[in-house]
């Protein structure tokens, strides 16, 4: 299993089972993860609707944290 920031992020979302798929599809950094949309989740293999919602919500929080940090 990969141990990196994306794995840790997914672990906090209680979705660590997707970590390998995320990395295999090029989502190995949170900056890249901020760009995730529905087609990306399809490619990664996230099919469960509430898992998709959880990831979308977490991506929104990542973007908000960036905006807050930027001022």
Tokens of 22: 């995320």
DSSP string, 9-38: HHHHTT-GGGHHHHHHTT--SHHHHTT--H
Model confidence, pTM: 0.89
Radius of gyration for the alpha carbons in the chain, expressed in angstroms and rounded: 12
Q: Sketch out the chain's domains with CATH numbers.
A: 5-69 (1.10.150.50)
Three-state SS for 47?
Answer: coil
Tokens of 53: 């919602």
pLDDT in tens, 12-64: 999 999 999 999 999 999 999 999 999 999 999 999 999 999 999 999 999 99
């Amino acid at each position: 299993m990969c141990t990196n920031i994306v794995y840790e992020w997914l672990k906090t979302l209680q979705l660590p089972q997707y970590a390998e798929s995320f990395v295999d599809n090029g989502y190995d950094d949170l900056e890249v993860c901020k760009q995730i949309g529905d087609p990306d989740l399809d490619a990664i293999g996230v099919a469960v609707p509430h898992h998709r919602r959880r990831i979308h919500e977490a991506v929104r929080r990542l973007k908000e944290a960036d905006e807050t940090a930027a001022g």
